[in-house]
Chains A and B, each alone.
Chain A
Amino acid sequence: AQSVAQPEDQVNVAEGNPLTVKCTYSVSGNPYLFWYVQYPNRGLQFLLKYITGDNLVKGSYGFEAEFNKSQTSFHLKKPSALVSDSALYFCAVRPRDSGGYQKVTFGIGTKLQVIP
């Protein structure tokens, strides 16, 4: 069975400072990895994904994430946080090694609070 761990319920960062939101995963074989963001009373919005290739993935709104296979991690990062980045962030995983359908599993989310 696959799983995602987001060890921090909340991350606080000052505006303009770099931010990191942590994610570790457990899956059989190689993973597809995703980050989504959720604003209040809205659905999830896709930020970025890792499929294969370069371990550093760049996504929307200046976010990036680094895939680390040995540490089974996929931490979300941004060099300079904005107040508007304050939201709930979800990491998600699914196994790659299949030609057919596989379920995507989401973490419980990390609340990012950017302080002006």
Chain B
Amino acid sequence: GAGVSQSPRYKVAKRGQDVALRCDPISGHVSLFWYQQALGQGPEFLTYFQNEAQLDKSGLPSDRFFAERPEGSVSTLKIQRTQQEDSAVYLCASSTDRFGSNQPQHFGDGTRLSIL
């Protein structure tokens, strides 16, 4: 596809369940980012991949959050034992820039996660 694709677009889960969010970046993009966007806020950085290497995971809020990009393309963000405060929109972005720095990031439309 032409853009960054995220699935599902909407996810409702009960507190305590595990969820997996998928990101399919633009083909050939080296850098991949995950962000969390709470209602009325800007995107908050979660983690960064350069190809398959996770270079920065400093934004992951707890050890319940885990991300992977095993073949340097598709990425999955997994949240275990979900809690209500995990409710947010999760955005994925990719970039041609090797370090995702001065080139623009291309964003997917996000996954809106609601924890009941």
Contact = CB atoms under 8 A, between A and B. Distances in A.
B7 to A, nearest CB: 13
Interface string A29-46: 000101010000111111
A22 interface: no
Interface in A87-104: 90, 94, 96, 100-104
A105 B91 CA distance: 14
Given A49-B102, A101-B50, A41 B109 contact: yes
Given A102-B101, A103-B48, A44 B55 contact: no
Interface in B35-88: 35, 40-45, 48, 50, 55-56, 58
Nearest to B99: A101
Contact of B41 (A42, A44, A94, A109): A109
Q: How large is the interface on B (under 10, 10 to 19, 20 to 34, 35 or more residues)?
A: 20 to 34
A4 B107 CA distance: 20
22 contacts: A32-B102, A41-B109, A41-B110, A42-B109, A42-B110, A43-B107, A44-B43, A44-B91, A49-B102, A90-B43, A94-B102, A101-B48, A101-B55, A102-B99, A102-B101, A103-B45, A104-B105, A107-B42, A108-B41, A108-B42, A109-B40, A109-B41
Interface of B: 4, 35, 40-45, 48, 50, 55-56, 58, 91, 93, 99-102, 104-110, 112
